[in-house]
Amino acid sequence: MIEEFKYQKEVQMIIFRLGNEEYSVPIMSVQEIIMRQTPTHIPKSPGWVEGVINLRGHIIPIIDGKKKLSLVEKNENTNNSRIMVLDVEHEIIGLIVDEVSEVIHLKTEDIDPTPVAICEDNDCLWGVGKFQNRLLILINPEKFLSHSEAYDLKKLAKVTKAVNQAKEASVD
């Protein structure tokens, strides 16, 4: 039993695909799902950061889900690719996924802990969920980024916002 779900009979999850595998996050951690946009690249950012986008006046970092999880599949921008806007460590980020497929109610009794430690420095995966003869990898959005990674992304967004403000001021 996963500690976060011990008082619940089921959790509502959003299923998405990275490469050939299906992943899920709790629906409460997803603010919205948007069409994929081309981010503004930021020099010297971590390899899994694609850049930043302006989402209704808010600068948010965009993370490539495959790179962050060290998946080897080539990143393809298809018509099904989306950006899931998530609240991670009280920071808003965009996560590039290959496809968002459905919202489900997953019984907590059908969730098993991960068999091995996957993420460095944190526990970014809750476990594996069994749903309709499928295995879903459950991502813990609160631990998807380490504290230092979340801090670095916050600094990145502030720098980008300052640059954009300077550009706007020079146009006036």
In a domain, 68, yes or no: yes
Q: Where are the alpha helices (DSSP H) in 102-146?
A: none
Count of domains for the chain: 1
Q: Does 131 reside within a domain?
A: yes
- Domain, as residue range, for 101: 3-167
Q: Check if the beta carbon of residue 63 is closer than 8 Å to that of residue 52.
A: no
Specify if 29 maps to a domain: yes
Give the Cα separation of 159 and 147 in Å (integer). 19
pTM (two decimals):
0.84
For residue 28, is it within any domain? yes
Residue 161 maps to a domain:
yes
Distances from the Cα of 92 to the Cα of 50, 76, 109, 166, 167, angstroms: 15, 23, 30, 23, 23
Assigned token pair, 148: 């230092």
- Residue 95 maps to a domain: yes
Instruction: For the chain, 172 residues long, give each residue's pLDDT as a single digit of tens.
Output: 566 777 789 999 999 999 889 999 999 999 999 999 999 888 888 889 999 998 988 888 999 999 988 887 665 667 889 999 998 777 789 999 999 999 999 998 998 887 765 555 447 788 899 999 999 999 988 888 877 887 787 777 677 777 667 767 766 6
Residue 53 sits in a domain whose CATH number is 2.40.50.180
- Is 172 among the domain residues? no
Let me know if residue 90 belongs to a domain: yes
59, two tokens = 């600068």
